[in-house]
Structure 1
């Protein structure tokens, strides 16, 4: 699509060509064409006013960026048919592109998922490729329905084999960076009311492996590590705004309309993650009980639905040294991947006549993989077996 600058430039060239003729016209036109192509091909730069960001040598990464100028979603880049989680269902027909934006739609649609009755469907677009460090930016307009739906721009890791050994010794099994969650209307325990539509959340989530079990580290129970917010002087439903986050090995920094609004030390967010856009269900249609999210079916309504979150673009930049994500661990002959470990254990259980329990074996693998690199090395297996024998022989209290 031609930009105003390009149109002005080509118009000026055409005016000047009327005073020339022959070969000179051809020469001038060729030069003009090259200049226009260069103008059109110029990579975008991050929308930020912070000199510390603008001064860095960012490289625009087209693989993780999308201007949404086509009539159809780029399915080679975006997965719009993700596995369901939460108390609503993701449906590919709820993701569309029109007028230079991607639109994610939430609709009131009562349906059955397994044995559970649910009342809403929505849209999510997630990039299949993963990335860890960089500057992530999207221009987003919130949805009209409030409260009840939360537009989000975020990154998260997938896969049980993803592990990272943090500097404090913790083994990280999940990384999630919420660049923004808009319009969540979460409960304010101080005022005993829900936060207004202008509250923008910029949070972190992770799970740590402790004694073979996953423990969540979330904004509400670890606010110093995970929790940020920005109280906007405008309503995010009314217009597009630019939301960004920079993830480095040392810091995670959030930006809104070019201004820094929050930062946290990067303790645990070093796993490969998927760039994601989604429109999630929130209060009053969702409640929490014993840490589990449940639907509030008695509150179901079609008032305000369908509602749309709109995204003008997603752009990603990386510094030269971060263009290659974390290297995978180098595997030796004595190292077993999770699949190899499970296969060998299955053969061993069959040989001994034991009833096969894959969940237990996979849990054992997480314990064996002490350094969290996704491999059960020979020394790790020996240490694990020695520990189990010692536990078995230890005197009972």
Structure 2
């Protein structure tokens, strides 16, 4: 990998070198400001829908400049900047290299890599990696990026496949035949190229999981990033490749979504999905809180019956207990040792805040006034496999993100999903705190 040298310490005393932003290095600051200004405000033209001109990115000059700064300082801000430039330039493999480098640095130099945490606050670092979720400079560019360049078909992208399978084409946009796309991707002429691209995408997807795990462990889940969009587009690209080349993945049907120019989601039918990704089954539709509770109960029964050793059983059960519960109950259930310190600050200057006792009293008062009999769910859910249980969890998480953004349930279910594919050894490594070396 191009960035392997970054794992060599800059010096013994400062493995990641100085923070060029913190010390106010003029060359660094001028470059970063200029690079940000070269980023488009929109990827698709608001009037014509024409995508950003990727040839406007001088990738050779950009990577040379960033490489020079990385020699001095191991900084995630530089790598996420290059990742976005690679995506905008249509370089999928280059983007994947950047994601892998970010994961490697976080894994090896969590305490030293820039930007560092400050008194346990990793907001800046979290925001740094969160730009990998940006629609304008990452998600849409990757959807439009060429997978191959063919003499007959021209460039083939995820967007081309979407249009070929029913997504509305913008005015003047070419429409390829879907069979031509799949034949091109599976052709012997592009075999080595597709093999390499599939390997890059697979490594990037693993790197995303490594980044998330590093934040989980390093911040006790307080600053863990959500890579839903990035994971989605990487999965879409892999699914398209594996649809044409089943030898590279599983043979099960898979549906993926693409962000349309108007911001809506369009379904793209892809022929295959990696066999090792059962948790990515299509989410089950959830209509209300009662249905959410019923779906969680079905998933809970699956884990209790088929995978009782999985921590997912505990997390799903806790999530079900929190359905319909107020903030006070969630805090008391999830953070019992610190619950009494919770407060809602209304006006810090005057000291006006609602402490836990007041929040509890208000909650109890509301519950007494608004008490109604709980409605049962008319929908019956069941799960006989891990994939079906994962689909239920995905549906419940999606429902609460949509109707109750403040709910902790998606967080619990996201962690449960990650535990579903972990071995006992890796689970124990997370659950039992490491002993301090003496």
Which range, TM-score by smaller chain? under 0.3
Q: TM-score, normalised by structure 1?
A: 0.22
Instruction: Name the structure where strand makes up a greater proportion of residues.
Output: 1
Instruction: Name the structure where helix makes up a greater proportion of residues.
Output: 2
Greater RCO structure (CA 8 Å; 6+ sep): 1
